[in-house]
């Protein structure tokens, strides 16, 4: 539609011009003494139009001629800029492909192009960032080539020109230090990050690794909590990591007071985890701490075992039995407490559970109910899967047989314990 309108307008102009020119009888007379020149108006108009076009073309030609040096200079600058960009891209691609020597050469070529632009007086508007990026790529390639001297030199140069890139460069430097197992340098780089950058997932991951390498379990646990909160791990992986760090924190305590402080530093959710509570109770018992406190830590695990037996695996069930047995045997005053009632009620509720039979039998022997204890232990021994519990059961049966004067049964029980 637009083309048709243009054609109609063109035809209209052509018709108007033809009518004007065809019927135009006007003349233009020029007096140049002693001459007189008569020209038609149409010819004068054509001459004026031709002169205008000639003048316009001449001016355009002169402008293009005088602009040629500037165009040549601009072309050289654009060529260098394209070469610089191409070198940076090549350095990154070579880095990804594992061609680290070529990556470093490309990064150095980009730096040379940037320096050439700066020396010619045509520095880039974002020259500091380009320079920092080039040095960072060269440092990355040097790190992969184990050239620590050149890596540190490029790192120093990368940190100088562009403050807005210093966060990324500091993070890369921290990762290089972690690769070298240089925990102090990595920690120093991470501490130099601003508060906002230090709470990013990448920085938190490196902080977690640095804390674990440095043996700073408490800081590692706090960092792991932040990562879990940010969704950096899957729920299963986060729970496993937090559980392992909590156990490391408890294992680092070497007296009951330190253990209690470490326990207080755990979150309520971490304290409710079965492995953490059992580990804390066993650690407290091994350090000679308060038995009642250890059993109090185990109480939620015991209640979970009674309500949801399938939630605990066999290893956890065995640990519960071992902690309760050690606690009730080391503190005879607890025999009259609620724990004995809990054990008896659990055994009545699950009479075929070998672990509960073993625990009830050991408590009966401790209370000098030898007949009932012997019966429960004899029922539990064939079904026990834990070697240490089975060995202890055979030894207890040997002691009971010795008390009865049944030497044959005593020797048989000792033999079974020795075979285990």
In a domain, 126, yes or no: no
Q: Rounded CA gap, 106 and 88, in Å? A: 7
- Residues 123-129 have a mean pLDDT of 78
Whether residue 336 has pLDDT greater than 50: no
Q: Could you list the residue range(s) of the whole structural domain that residue 379 is in?
A: 351-420
Q: Are residues 322 and 362 in the same domain?
A: no
> Cα–Cα distance between 56 and 295 in angstroms, integer?
102
Band (pLDDT 50/70/90 cuts) for residue 20 is: low
- Please indicate, yes or no, if residue 292 is contained in any of the structural domains: yes
- Indicate if 419 and 364 belong to the same structural domain: yes
Q: Answer with the one of 318, 344, 370 that is the final residue of a domain.
A: 344
Mean pLDDT confidence for 30-55: 84
Looking at the structure, do residues 332 and 278 belong to the same domain, yes or no? Answer: yes
* Three-state secondary-structure class, residue 367: coil
Q: What DSSP letter does each residue of 308-356 carry, written as one string?
A: -GGGS-HHHHHHHHHHHHHHHHH-GGGGGSHHHHHHHHHHHHSTT-HHH
Do 364 and 331 lie in a common domain?
Answer: no
> What pLDDT score does 22 carry?
66
Domain membership of residue 311 (yes or no) is: yes
In a domain, 413, yes or no: yes
For residue 272, is it within any domain? yes
Residues 338 and 363 in one domain: no
Claim to verify: residue 296 and residue 361 sit in the same structural domain: no
Check pLDDT > 80 for residue 222: yes
Question: Residue 414: CB partners within 8 Å, gap ≥ 6?
Answer: 394, 395, 398
**pLDDT tens digit sequence for 408-417:** 777 787 788 7
Supply the pLDDT for residue 232: 81
Residue 185 has pLDDT above 80, yes or no: yes
Residues 274 and 340 reside in one and the same domain: yes
| 279 belongs to a structural domain | yes
Mean pLDDT of all residues in 144-153 = 87
Global pTM exceeds 0.85: no
State the pLDDT at residue 51. Answer: 92
Q: Kindly tell me if the per-residue pLDDT of 187 is higher than 60.
A: yes
Rounded Cα distance, 175 and 181, in Å: 10
Token pair recorded at residue 74: 């601009």
Q: Is the pLDDT of residue 57 over 90?
A: yes
Q: Which of 344, 364, 392 is the last residue of a domain?
A: 344
Do residues 337 and 390 share a domain? Answer: no
Pair (303, 372) in one structural domain: no
Residue 333 pLDDT more than 60? no
335 located within any domain: yes
The number of distinct structural domains making up the chain is 2
The CA angle 277-280-282, to the nearest 5 degrees, is 110
Q: What is the token pair recorded at 380?
A: 């539990």
> Quick check: 323 and 298 in contact, CB under 8 A?
yes
Last residue in a domain, options 307, 322, 344: 344
Sign of CA dihedral 193, 194, 200, 205: positive
Confidence of residue 21 (pLDDT cuts 50, 70, 90): low
Q: How many residues does the chain have?
A: 420
* CA 388 – CA 396 distance, rounded (Å): 12
Question: Which residues lie across from 31 on neighbouring strands?
Answer: 36
Please tell me the distance from the alpha carbon of residue 25 to that of residue 27, in angstroms, as a whole number: 7
> Is 391 exposed, middle or buried (CB count within 10 Å of its CB: 0-12, 13-18, 19+)?
middle
Judge if 278 and 309 occupy the same domain.
yes
Task: Give the percent of the chain with pLDDT over 90.
Answer: 4
Longest dimension (CA), the chain: 165
| Mean of pLDDT values over 73-84 | 83
Distance CA(318)–CA(288), nearest Å, equals 21
- The first and second tokens of residue 272, run together, are 């409710």
Mind listing the pLDDT tens digit for each residue in 350-394? 877 788 788 888 888 777 777 887 788 788 788 888 888 888 878
- 327 and 277 housed in the same domain: yes
14 part of a folded domain: no
Question: How far from the centroid of its chain's Cα atoms is residue 301's Cα?
Answer: 32
Q: What CATH number did the domain enclosing 407 receive?
A: 1.25.40
pLDDT for position 162: 53
């Amino acid at each position: 539609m637009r083309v048709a309108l243009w054609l109609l307008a063109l035809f209209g102009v052509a018709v108007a011009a033809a009518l004007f020119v065809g019927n135009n009888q006007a003349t233009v007379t020029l007096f140049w003494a002693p001459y007189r020149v008569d020209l038609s108006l149409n010819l004068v108009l054509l001459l004026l139009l031709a002169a205008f076009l000639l003048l316009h073309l001449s001016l355009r030609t002169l402008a293009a001629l005088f602009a040629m040096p500037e165009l040549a200079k601009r072309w050289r600058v654009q060529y260098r800029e394209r070469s610089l960009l191409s070198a940076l891209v090549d350095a990154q691609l070579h880095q990804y492909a594992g061609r680290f020597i070529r990556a470093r050469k490309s990064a150095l070529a980009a730096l040379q192009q940037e320096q050439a632009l700066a020396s010619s007086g045509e520095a880039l508007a974002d020259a500091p960032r380009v320079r920092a990026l080039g040095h960072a790529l060269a440092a990355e390639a040097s790190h992969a080539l184990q050239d620590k001297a050149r890596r540190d030199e490029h790192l120093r140069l990368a940190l100088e020109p562009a403050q807005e890139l210093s966060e990324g460069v500091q993070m890369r430097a921290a990762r290089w230090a972690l690769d070298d197992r240089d925990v102090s340098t990595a920690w120093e780089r991470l501490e130099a990050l601003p508060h906002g950058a230090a709470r990013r997932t990448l920085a938190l991951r490196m902080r977690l690794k640095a804390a674990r390498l440095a043996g700073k379990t408490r800081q590692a646990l706090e960092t792991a909590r932040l990562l879990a909160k940010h969704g950096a791990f899957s729920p299963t992986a986060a729970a496993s990591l937090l559980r392992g760090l909590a156990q490391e924190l408890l294992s680092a305590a070497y007296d009951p007071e330190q253990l209690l402080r470490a326990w207080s530093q755990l979150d309520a959710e971490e304290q409710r985890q079965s492995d953490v509570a059992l580990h804390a109770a066993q650690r407290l018992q091994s350090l000679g701490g308060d038995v009642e406190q250890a059993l109090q830590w185990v109480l939620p695990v015991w209640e979970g075992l009674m309500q949801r037996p399938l939630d605990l695996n066999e290893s956890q069930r065995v640990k519960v039995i071992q902690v309760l047995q050690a606690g009730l045997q080391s503190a005879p005053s607890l025999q009259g407490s609620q724990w004995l009632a809990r054990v008896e009620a659990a055994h009545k509720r699950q009479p075929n559970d070998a672990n509960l039979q073993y625990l009830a039998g050991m408590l009966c022997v401790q209370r000098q109910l030898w007949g009932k204890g012997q019966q429960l232990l004899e029922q539990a021994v064939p079904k026990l899967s834990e070697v240490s519990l089975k060995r202890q059961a055979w030894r207890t049966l040997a002691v009971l047989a010795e008390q009865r004067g049944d030497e044959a049964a005593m020797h048989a029980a000792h033999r079974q314990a020795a075979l285990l």
